[in-house]
C-alpha cells in the first residue's frame, strides 16, 4: 500500500515553491493536502484572498495531489492524529521564530505515530507572505473588501474593529500587527464613526455632516487599506433616502451599515438619558430595515440594526423584543448599545438573545464597560467588538499637550519627545520617496 504524506497549506497564491514541495512529497507516497480553513487562519494571519472552495479547486487539480482535506486548526496535531500519515512534509523555515512550537509538537506526535518529519529547504525569494504583501500594495476591489466581514465573522471567535476617521488612522489599522499570546494580533477592520467624523471636523454628532461629506473623507481610508469597513449610518435618515444610502455604500465596497432605532434630532448615545433619545416604533424601524434589504444588490452587504433601548433607559426585555422583530425584518446582525459602566445589561441581553437565536451576529461597542476583554465578550455571544472612538480620543490630548508645551516654552524644543521624528514622518507613507536615477 502507498505511504501517506501529509502537507499543510493555505495555497492562496500558488507559486513554484509550493509546487516544489508537492513534488518532493509525491516521491514518498500519496500526498494529502491539509488545506487551512478560514477558521484555522483567522487568528494568526489575514484571511486568504480566495475562499476555501476556490483554493480547494486549484489544489485538487495539481499533479501529485491525491486528496484535499480541511485543516481546521492552526496546529497540525488534530489532523495528524486523524489521518495518521507516514510522513509529514514541511519547509525548513519553521525551525525558529514563532513557528517553532508548531514544529516541536509535530515532531512529538509523529514520533508517537511512528511516522517521520521531512523538511524541505525553503525556496528563498518566493514565499506566500511576500507575495501577499505585493498584492496588498496593489489594493483591493470593492467586492473582495465587502465579502471579508462575513468571512471574518464566520471564522473568528470575535472580530476586532477600530475607529478610523482619516487615511492615516486607516493605515495604522491596516498595518499594525503584534505578536502576543502565541498569535499574530491585528485589527480586522475599520469603523467609520459618526462621532469621530463629526468631531474631527469640529461639528456636533447630530447628523450635521451629511453622507456625501462623510463618504468623501472615507474615500481617503478606502484608498490606502484593504480591510473591511463598518459604516455608522446614524438613524439611516428617512426610509426613502436610506435605500439610496445602501446602494451607495454597497457600490463602494463597505461591508455593513449600522443604523440605530432613533427618531428626531439624533444625539450621541453616550449622553444616555441626559439627552432626549426617542426610539422609533418597532414597526417603522422594521420597515426601514426591510426596505434597505430589498434595495441591496449583493448577498454580502450587511444591514445591522442597532438597539437603543438601554441608552434610552428602557429594560433589557424591550431590547430583546426589538431584536427579535428586527431579525425577522431581515437585519443581518444586532448591535446592542449601552452606556452603563458595569456591562451587566449588555451581558444579560446577549445571554438571553443567544437562548433564542444562536446565529445572528451581535455587535458591541464597549466604550463605557471596557473592563471586559475580547475573550469575555465573546463568551457572552458577541461576534464583533468595535473600539468606536479611540484613535481620535487618543490623538486629541497628545496634540493639546504639544501645543501647550510650545506656549509654555515659547519654542518647540521641549515638545521634541512628544513628536514622531522628522525621519519617521518622511518615510511613514508608502511611496513618499521617489527613487532618483
Assess contact for 69 and 32: CB atoms under 8 A. yes
Of the ranges 89-97, 228-236, 283-291, 299-307, which one interacts with Mg ion (CB under 5 A)?
228-236
Closer residue to ligand SPV, CB minimum distance, 231 or 353: 231
Backbone angles phi, psi at 295, to 5 degrees: -75, -25
- Measured from the CB of residue 216, what is the shortest distance to ligand SPV in angstroms? 18
Neighbouring C-beta atoms of residue 18, cutoff 10 Å: 22
Binder of residue 269, out of Mg ion, ligand SPV, none (CB less than 5 to 8 A by kind)? ligand SPV
User: Would you say 363 and 383 are in contact if contact means Cβ atoms under 8 Å apart?
Assistant: yes
Q: From ligand SPV, Mg ion, none, which one binds at residue 226 (CB under 5 to 8 Å depending on kind)? A: none
Nearer of residues 99 and 208 to ligand SPV, judged by Cβ: 208
DSSP state for residue 428 in the 8-state scheme? H
388 binds ligand SPV (CB under 6 A): yes
Which positions from 189 through 228 interact with ligand SPV, judged by CB under 6 A? 193-195
How many residues at the interface with Mg ion, by CB under 5 A? 3
Asked if 198 touches Mg ion (CB under 5 A), the answer is no
What's the min distance (Å) between Cβ of 337 and ligand SPV? 6
The site partner of 270 among Mg ion, ligand SPV, none (C-beta below 5 to 8 Å per kind) is ligand SPV
Q: Contact with ligand SPV (CB under 6 A): which of 37, 221, 268, 338?
A: 268
CB of 262 to Mg ion, least distance (A): 10
324 burial level (CB within 10 Å; 0-12, 13-18, 19+)? middle
Q: For residue 178, with 0-12 CB atoms within 10 Å meaning exposed, 13-18 middle and 19 or more buried, which class applies? A: exposed
**Shorter beta-carbon distance to ligand SPV: residue 147 or 306:** 306
Q: According to the binding rule CB under 5 A, does residue 194 interact with Mg ion?
A: yes
> Which neighbouring-strand residues pair with 312?
none
* Interactions with Mg ion, residue window 23-62 (CB under 5 A): none
CB 7 within 8 A of CB 23: no
Q: How far apart are CA 363 and CA 385, in angstroms?
A: 6
- Min dist CB 390 to ligand SPV, Å, is 10
Choose from Mg ion, ligand SPV, none: what does 338 bind? Cβ within 5-8 Å by kind: none
Q: Which of 417, 415, 421, 420 is nearest to 400 (CA)?
A: 415
| Three-point CA angle 380, 382, 387, nearest 5° | 120
Per CB under 6 A, does 389 bind ligand SPV?
yes
Closest CA to 361 of 148, 159, 226: 159
Count of residues in contact with ligand SPV, rule CB under 6 A: 11
Element (DSSP H or E) covering residue 9: strand 4-9
Shortest spacing between CB 93 and ligand SPV, in angstroms: 42
Give dist(CA 280, CA 292) in Å, integer. 16
Report if residue 200 touches Mg ion, rule: CB under 5 A.
no
Q: Is 205 annotated in the active site?
A: yes
Could you say whether residue 235 binds ligand SPV (CB under 6 A)? no
Which residue, 75, 83, 87, 81, is CA-closest to 41? 75
Q: Pairing relation of β-strands 189-192 and 159-163?
A: parallel
How far is 291 from 301, CA to CA, in rounded Å?
A: 14
**Catalytic residue selected from 12, 86, 188, 205:** 205
The residue (of 150 and 266) whose beta carbon lies closer to Mg ion is 266
Of 12, 174, 188, 232, the one binding ligand SPV (CB under 6 A) is: 232
Query: Which phi and psi angles does 240 have, rounded to 5°?
Result: -60, -30
Instruction: Let me know: does 386 contact 163? Beta carbons within 8 Å.
Output: yes
What distance in Å separates the CA atoms of residue 112 and residue 89, rounded to the nearest whole number? 16
CA distance 301 to 37: 22
Q: Which does 259 bind (CB under 5 to 8 A by kind): Mg ion, ligand SPV, none?
A: none
CB of 317 to Mg ion, least distance (A): 25
Residue 174 contacts ligand SPV per CB under 6 A: no
Smallest gap from Cβ 330 to ligand SPV, in A, equals 21
State the catalytic residues.
205
Judged by the rule CB under 5 A, the positions of this chain that interact with Mg ion are 194-195, 232
Judged by the rule CB under 6 A, the positions of this chain that interact with ligand SPV are 193-195, 232, 268-270, 365, 367, 388-389
Amino acid at each position: 500500500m502507498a505511504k501517506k504524506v501529509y502537507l499543510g497549506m493555505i495555497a492562496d497564491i500558488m507559486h513554484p515553491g509550493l509546487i516544489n514541495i508537492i513534488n518532493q512529497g509525491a516521491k514518498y507516497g500519496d500526498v494529502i493536502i491539509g488545506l487551512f480553513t478560514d477558521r484555522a487562519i483567522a487568528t494568526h494571519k489575514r484571511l486568504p484572498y480566495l475562499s476555501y472552495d476556490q483554493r480547494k479547486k486549484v489544489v485538487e487539480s495539481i499533479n501529485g495531489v491525491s486528496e484535499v482535506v480541511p485543516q481546521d486548526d492552526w496546529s497540525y496535531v488534530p489532523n495528524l492524529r486523524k489521518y495518521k500519515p507516514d510522513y509529514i512534509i514541511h519547509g525548513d523555515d519553521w525551525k525558529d521564530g514563532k513557528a517553532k512550537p508548531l514544529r516541536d509538537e509535530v515532531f512529538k506526535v509523529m514520533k508517537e505515530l511512528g511516522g517521520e518529519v521531512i523538511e524541505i529547504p525553503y525556496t528563498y525569494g518566493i514565499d506566500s507572505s511576500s507575495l501577499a504583501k505585493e498584492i496588498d500594495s496593489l489594493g483591493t476591489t470593492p467586492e473582495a473588501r465587502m465579502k471579508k466581514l462575513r468571512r471574518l465573522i464566520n471564522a473568528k471567535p470575535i472580530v476586532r474593529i477600530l475607529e478610523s476617521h482619516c487615511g492615516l488612522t486607516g493605515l495604522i489599522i491596516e498595518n499594525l500587527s503584534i505578536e502576543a499570546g502565541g498569535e499574530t494580533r491585528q485589527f480586522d477592520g475599520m469603523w467609520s464613526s459618526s462621532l469621530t467624523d463629526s468631531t474631527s471636523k469640529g461639528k456636533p454628532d447630530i447628523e450635521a455632516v451629511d453622507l456625501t461629506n462623510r463618504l468623501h473623507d472615507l474615500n481617503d481610508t478606502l484608498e490606502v487599506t484593504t480591510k473591511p469597513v463598518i459604516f455608522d449610518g446614524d438613524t439611516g435618515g428617512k426610509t426613502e433616502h436610506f435605500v439610496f444610502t445602501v446602494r451607495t455604500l454597497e457600490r463602494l465596497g463597505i461591508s455593513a451599515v449600522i443604523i440605530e432605532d432613533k427618531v428626531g434630532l439624533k444625539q450621541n448615545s453616550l449622553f444616555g438619558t441626559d439627552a432626549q433619545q426617542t426610539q422609533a416604533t418597532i414597526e417603522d424601524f422594521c420597515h426601514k430595515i426591510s426596505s434597505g434589504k430589498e434595495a441591496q444588490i449583493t448577498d454580502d452587504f450587511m444591514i445591522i440594526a442597532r438597539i437603543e433601548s438601554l441608552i434610552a433607559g428602557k429594560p433589557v426585555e424591550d431590547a430583546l423584543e426589538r431584536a427579535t422583530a428586527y431579525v425577522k425584518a431581515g437585519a443581518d446582525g444586532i448591535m446592542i448599545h449601552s452606556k452603563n459602566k458595569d456591562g451587566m445589561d449588555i451581558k444579560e441581553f446577549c445571554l438571553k438573545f443567544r437562548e433564542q437565536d444562536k446565529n445572528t451576529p451581535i455587535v458591541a461597542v464597549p466604550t463605557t464597560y471596557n473592563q471586559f476583554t475580547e475573550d469575555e465578550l465573546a463568551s457572552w455571544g458577541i461576534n464583533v467588538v468595535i473600539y468606536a472612538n479611540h484613535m481620535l480620543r487618543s490623538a486629541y490630548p497628545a496634540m493639546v499637550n504639544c501645543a501647550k508645551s510650545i506656549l509654555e516654552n515659547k519654542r518647540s524644543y521641549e515638545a521634541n519627545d512628544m513628536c514622531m521624528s522628522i525621519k519617521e514622518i518622511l518615510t511613514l507613507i508608502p511611496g513618499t520617496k521617489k527613487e532618483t536615477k
